[in-house]
Amino acid sequence: MREVRAFPSIPTKILLPIDFSPSSQVALEMAADLAQHFHAELFLLNVVPMFPTTSLPDMIPEANFIQQAREYSERHLAKCQAVLGTRGIKATTGVEVGNDVAGNVMEVIEREHIDMVVISTHGISGWHPLVFGSIAEKVVKLVECPLLLLRSAKPESGVKTGTGRAMEWW
């Protein structure tokens, strides 16, 4: 009979890059289950791009856009953190600002001593992948700790990405 092997090490801190898309909501549910199962801390990360993913009127300065995006992220991450707390899951959050989202993710992995990453495909990227490539693809190529990549339907396909037990996180 074949021996079942466990993780070489049990994760203690799981990173979830989150962009508040339907696919990242599914990833949040999976990451929460893993954190609960392993009694691990969950680190929720949102990266605010220096260049907006939508077109803005000329009258909105970039600094104002970044501040508003940071406040939006902090509000929604706080909601997630509160829900996770009710489930007994320790969660911390972070908001980074930068042009290289995958690079920001890699910096957080090192700085926060992350030992597992959960990331979804097809988040809210707009034109970003056309210019910079897939964030998830870059993270997969660069990360050295265990990674769970959750493949989800492209937003344009109209396919719902719920798990059947969808929860309003934000």
Query: Could you tell me the domains of the chain?
Result: 17-53+61-156 (3.40.50.620)
- pLDDT over 70, % of the chain: 71
pLDDT bin (cut points 50, 70, 90) of residue 135 is: confident
Average per-residue pLDDT in the chain?
A: 81
Query: Phi/psi of residue 165, each to 5°?
Result: -135, 40
> What are the pLDDT digits (tens) for 37-79?
999 999 999 999 876 555 555 556 778 888 999 999 999 999 9
- For the ranges 17-26, 101-110, 111-120, 130-139, the lowest mean pLDDT is seen at 130-139
pTM above 0.95, yes or no: no
Query: Would you state the structure tokens that stand for residue 127, as one six-digit string?
Result: 């034109």
Query: What radius of gyration do the chain's Cα atoms show?
Result: 16
Q: Can you give the pLDDT at residue 50?
A: 78
Q: Can you give the pLDDT at residue 94?
A: 97
Give the HSE-up count for residue 58: Cα atoms under 13 Å, Cβ half-sphere.
0
Cα–Cα nearest to 103, from 63, 143, 130: 143
Burial 114-135 (b: 16+ CB within 10 A, else e): bbbbbbbbbbebeebeeebebb
Cα–Cα nearest to 140, from 106, 94, 97: 106
Average pLDDT over residues 128-136: 57
